[in-house]
Amino acid sequence: MSDGMVSQREKGTPQGSPLSPLLSNIMLDDLDKELERRGHSFCRYADDCNIYVGSRRSGERVLDSITQFIEKKLHLKVSKEKSAVDRPSKRTFLGYSFTVGKEPKLRVPKESIQRLKMKCKQLFRQGRGRNVGKFIEEDLNPVLVGWINYFGKAEVKSFAEDLDSWIRRRLRRTMWRQWKRAKTRRKQLLKAGLPEDRASKSAYNGRGSWWNSGASHMNDAFRKKYFDVLGLVCMLDKLCMLRIS
């Protein structure tokens, strides 16, 4: 109310504020009790909620009845765009999804992986001219550690191996670009242990940086061990450690 008059809200609580989930729990406590009363399996975090039923028909019926409960009894608005009836493997919840099958496992969906890649691409653009070791330590590793710690409960680990390979290729591309001249590239490949004939052919091949970053000469010259020495976080190793702990 403003000056004793009811006015339309223009702003809500700041995103990320601890007040937001607290208010969600207060407002949606009645929803939790209603779902428990009906005997539904459900999971809610703040205002994000998944309800699990046995069939699509049941899902459509529950979506309709719960929407009415929320809007008519709790006087809250349900987002039609974000709400749907679908298989758990086709939906995401807090960044996670599930595999298909009788014994579903937690997995990281493509959307979550793509968001990380976009973040990393931005970092790589900002760190083009920097020392690779310092870039890994100061910029890249903090992002990777935070991300894999969040997704440490994932039971399907192939995504981590794919991400490790993609990140190392991006780093090889940065290195190739930093060397600029073919003579410098030849020198660096020789220094990394490639035979003189192969180093020369690779350095003067005329191909682009992305092609070279995935080619065998860069992979053989700068393997995983090289980046381990630089301190690069290995997502697969980190995931395995989190699973053991």
Torsion sign (Cα): 194, 223, 172, 231: negative
Mean of pLDDT over the chain = 92
H/E run at residue 167: helix 158-179
Per DSSP, helices labelled H in 17-103 are 19-27, 29-38, 56-68
Taking 3-state DSSP, the helix, strand and coil percentages for the chain, each rounded to the nearest 5, stand at 60, 5, 35
**Over the stretch 108-160, which tens digit does the pLDDT of each residue have?**
999 999 999 999 999 999 988 899 999 999 999 999 999 999 999 999 999 99
Q: What pLDDT, on a 0 to 100 scale, did the predictor assign at position 16?
A: 73
Look at residue 152 and give its three-state secondary structure. Answer: coil
**Over the stretch 83-109, which tens digit does the pLDDT of each residue have?**
999 998 999 999 999 999 888 899 999
234 phi, psi to nearest 5 deg: -95, 115
Contact between 199 and 186 (Cβ < 8 Å): yes
Q: What pLDDT, on a 0 to 100 scale, did the predictor assign at position 51?
A: 95
Residue 70 has pLDDT above 90, yes or no: yes
Contacts by 122-128 with C-beta closer than 8 Å and gap 24+? 124/170, 124/174, 127/174, 128/174, 128/177, 128/178
Q: What pLDDT, on a 0 to 100 scale, did the predictor assign at position 193?
A: 95
**Over the stretch 10-69, which tens digit does the pLDDT of each residue have?**
777 777 778 888 888 999 999 999 999 999 999 999 889 999 999 999 999 999 999 999
pLDDT band for position 233 (cuts 50, 70, 90): very high
Q: What pLDDT, on a 0 to 100 scale, did the predictor assign at position 245?
A: 66
Q: How far apart are CA 63 and CA 51, in angstroms?
A: 9
